Amino acid sequence: MMKHFTILLAFLMTIGSQVVAFDPADLQRLIDTKKCSKCYLTDTDLYRANLAGANLAGANLAGANMAGSNLKGAYLRGTNLVGTHLSGSNLEGAYLSIGNLNGANLKGANLKGSYLRGANLAGADLADADLEGADLEGAILEGANLIGANLAHANLSAALLEGADLKGARTNGSIFCNTIMPDSSVIYSGC
């Protein structure tokens, strides 16, 4: 009996040690072509990478280090960016519709004019981020840190901001139509 247990344990340890954090072929394709939809790039180090205009639709970049990266105009529809480090990154005009950025670090990121409709930003750190003119309609920002963020002229219609921290955030000209605010109240401003 003990022999079978030892063999089973050794087998499980072997399987566990063969887990790969990302697919190296996908990383090379991204670097060579800036096109890598549905790629598997979890925990990849893309610090300060120039991915302007890249197509990463449906890719899995969970836990990746993309701090300081240039993703201006990138197409990231439905991309998994859970826990991804994007602080100081340039995502101006990026298309992030229905992307999952739950718990992502976007501190000080440039998201000016980005398209985040239906994106999940629950628990994300957006402190000091520039979201001026961003489209966040239907976005989930529950528990997000938006301290000092620039939300001027942003569309927050039907967004969920429950539990979010908006201290010092600039919201002049923003649309809050059927928006659930941090205190769970619903606002109909700019409808």
CATH number, domain containing residue 66 = 2.160.20
Residue 171 confidence (pLDDT): 97
Q: Give the Cα-Cα-Cα angle 191, 178, 122 (nearest 5 degrees).
A: 130
Do the domain assignments include residue 21? no
Do the domain assignments include residue 28? no
Check if the beta carbon of residue 88 is closer than 8 Å to that of residue 106. no
What's at 136, amino acid-wise? L
pLDDT tens profile 6-27: 333 343 333 333 344 678 899 8
Could you read off the pLDDT tens digit of each residue along the chain, which spans 191 residues? 444 333 333 433 333 333 446 788 998 999 999 999 999 999 999 999 999 999 999 999 999 999 999 999 999 999 999 999 999 999 999 999 999 999 999 999 999 999 999 999 999 999 999 999 999 999 999 999 999 999 999 999 999 999 999 999 999 999 999 999 999 999 998 89
User: What is the distance between the alpha carbons of residues 90 and 130, in angstroms, rounded to a whole number?
Assistant: 10
Do the domain assignments include residue 101? yes
Do the domain assignments include residue 16? no
Do the domain assignments include residue 93? yes
* H helix or E strand, kind and range, residue 17: helix 2-17
pTM score of the predicted model: 0.88
* Total domains present in the chain: 1
Domain encompassing residue 92: 36-191
Do the domain assignments include residue 23? no
Residue 161 confidence (pLDDT): 98
Task: Please give the C-alpha separations between residue 62 and each of 19, 83, 126, in angstroms, as whole numbers.
Answer: 15, 6, 17
Tokens 């921290």, residue located: 165
Count CB-CB contacts under 10 A for residue 109: 31
Residue 17 confidence (pLDDT): 36
Residue 21 confidence (pLDDT): 64
